[in-house]
Structure 1
Amino acid sequence: MKDRERRQTLATFLRQRRAHLSPTDVGLPPGIRRRTPGLRREEVAQLANIGTSWYIWLEQGRNVHPSMQVLESLAQALRLTPNERRHLFLLAGQPLPSQVSFSEESINPALQQMLDDLNPTPAYVMGRRYDYLAWNKAADVLFTISEASSPYERNLIWRIFTSPTMRERPNWEMIARTTLAEFRATHAHYPNDRWFEELIEDLKQMSPEFCLWWPRHDVRSALDGHKVIHHATLGHLEFEHFTLQSLNNPDMRIMIYTPNAVTRTKLQQCINRNASKQAAEHT
């Protein structure tokens, strides 16, 4: 394919993929006065974090040369499948990036000590795959993290959609839908991590709600703020939720639930009861 023909084919491919997406597919408001279907050019540029004029040049078939990073951003913004992503790189004249190898996640003792020092404030560390990596006693009281749930032992998404205890919560649907939207936004950052795809396929087999909601492409970032949790034994609990990130590993998030006075007392009493019970069992 000659260079000019390749650029024109790339331009057509981008226009077609843009036309097949609606604002709601990518978490944008629907807006008004849309004369043609699909996303606007400036919306794609915004999602891909590139200049609008530069993206327009691509759709016009001009002689511009997008980098591998820009192509990855476009692939995520346009929700391309693996085959479509491969086609995008081919038309842009760029080699397809090799598969990324993701290392196992772990935390250092100092971080665990920090979590322990926060008791009775619940706090835990979540990895890029929404796995609980570390937690303190208050977080275990609140979320029963130490109780593994096979085959994804301590994965938050798996628990939300498969745990009978989680599904019994009065606000389960709201929790499930908002957490799933956050998970989809995170998932887009790791297109080469097959673990995500395996989890998604397994959830489709286990949860009708996941099958229904996942194709809707709801996307949102994590929202901090006031949280109300209805606990099976402690009852009504209230928190202010904060999310922190480590500069050394931004894939890890530290989730902190600062309780109000009444909730703090309930959590501390539960921690004390559990400690007394464990001491009695070892005497």
Structure 2
Amino acid sequence: MSGDKRPHELGAFLKARRSELSPRTVGLPDPGVKRRVKGLRREEVALLASISTDYYTRLEQGRRQASGPVLDTLAQVLHLDDEERAYLFELAGRTTAARPRKQSAQKAQPQLRRVLDELTTTPGMVLGRRMDILAWNPMAAALLVDFSAVEEKRRNYIWLLFTDPMMKSVHAEWEKTARSCVAMLRKEAGRNPQDQRMAQLIGELSMRDEDFRRWWGDHRVASLGRGSKVLRHPVAGELTLDWDALACATDPDQQLVVWTAEPGTPSHDGLRILASWSTASSPAGG
């Protein structure tokens, strides 16, 4: 309404809160260069919240209204407590919504773990929401990376694909695989628009990697189903493997992904070489 100062107060509040944060605080890489302006930049907040910089800039300038889900995401990005979050909603002219229920941490279904234990010559893993790696067998660790050595909150397939040098080097067709994974992630993000951990993952990858940021902007979508990929392993050599994602009947958010090779091919022989080599290289986990 006329004379309403709340939009301008909202902008001042957002600016003040982002000035108190640093890249390291929100999990972004710190370049170590002194910044001209204290705190996070507008474009960093926008990327972490999975909104455009123009949208966020207009919000700070009092020229744009934000929806409830956007306010919720901004509250998380800016590390607001309950009182600050309520104040944010008040300034935005929104009824304070209850905090979104946090999704409980996923655990691999027992039957999927049993299947993994039986796959002694076949790489396999259980992927959950956002491509989180919930469980794996020794063959998967030997083929890709030692997941037990990865911090639990970073055990995410697409995160490792973009940030881990070993994951990049083993994928002979890395760009093709990475583009496909970005499209799969975008489809899942569309199904769960209020998933705050998803928004954080997208924001962090967008800040870290120019390729991810560009491909995310393409808005392509794909399903996690089946395909083939070429891997270049230092022990097993070049492997052309088919992969299949098998949905869990008791939890549709979990899928068992296995890599196999046509019997009688060099790739099939390579998997057997990998199986004999992997005994002590990477324990199962999750």
TM bucket normalised to smaller? 0.5 to 0.7
Q: Which has the higher contact order (CA 8 A, sep 6+)?
A: 2
Query: Does the 8 A contact of 1:132 with 1:145 survive in 2?
Result: no
Residue 167 in structure 1 maps to residue 184 in structure 2: no
Partners of 1:110 and 1:226 lie apart in 2 by 25
1:263 is matched with which residue: 255, 267, 271? 267
Which residue of structure 2 aligns with residue 143 of structure 1?
Answer: 144
Which residue of structure 1 aligns with residue 235 of structure 2?
Answer: 233
Give the match's secondary structure for 2:134: strand
Which structure's CA Rg is the greater one?
1
Partners of 1:257 and 1:143 lie apart in 2 by 11
Instruction: Give me the identity figure in percent.
Output: 29
Match runs of 1:165-244 below 5 Å: 165-168=166-169, 169-244=171-246
The alignment's TM-score, normalised by the length of structure 1, stands at: 0.59
Partners of 1:153 and 1:160 lie apart in 2 by 11
Query: Does the 8 A contact of 2:125 with 2:133 survive in 1?
Result: yes
Query: Does the 8 A contact of 1:149 with 1:159 survive in 2?
Result: no
Give the match's secondary structure for 1:227: strand
Which residue of structure 1 aligns with residue 279 of structure 2?
Answer: 275
Change (3 A) 1:178 1:97: farther
Query: Does the 8 A contact of 1:100 with 1:193 survive in 2?
Result: no
Match runs of 1:1-283 below 5 Å: 83=66, 99-150=100-151, 152-168=153-169, 169-261=171-263, 262-275=266-279
Partners of 1:138 and 1:131 lie apart in 2 by 18
What is the Cα deviation at residue 252 of structure 1? Answer: 0.3
Which residue of structure 2 aligns with residue 31 of structure 1?
Answer: none
- Cα deviations by residue, 1:25-68 (Å, 9 ceiling, x for unpaired): xxxxxxxxxxxxxxxxxxxxxxxxxxxxxxxxxxxxxxxxxxxx
Partner letter of residue 241 of structure 2? Answer: F
Partner letter of residue 206 of structure 2? Answer: K
Partner letter of residue 230 of structure 1? Answer: R
Structure 2 unpaired stretches of 5+: 1-55, 57-64, 71-96
Change (3 A) 1:245 1:145: farther
RMSD between aligned residues: 3.0
* Range 132-141 or range 228-237, more displaced: 228-237
Change (3 A) 1:174 1:108: closer
What is the Cα deviation at residue 225 of structure 1? Answer: 3.2
Change (3 A) 1:274 1:245: closer
Give the match's secondary structure for 1:217: coil
What is the Cα deviation at residue 263 of structure 1? Answer: 2.6
Between the two proteins, the alignment pairs up a number of residues equal to 192
The alignment's TM-score, normalised by the length of structure 2, stands at: 0.59
Partner letter of residue 132 of structure 1? Answer: I
Change (3 A) 1:202 1:277: closer
What is the Cα deviation at residue 125 of structure 1? Answer: 0.6
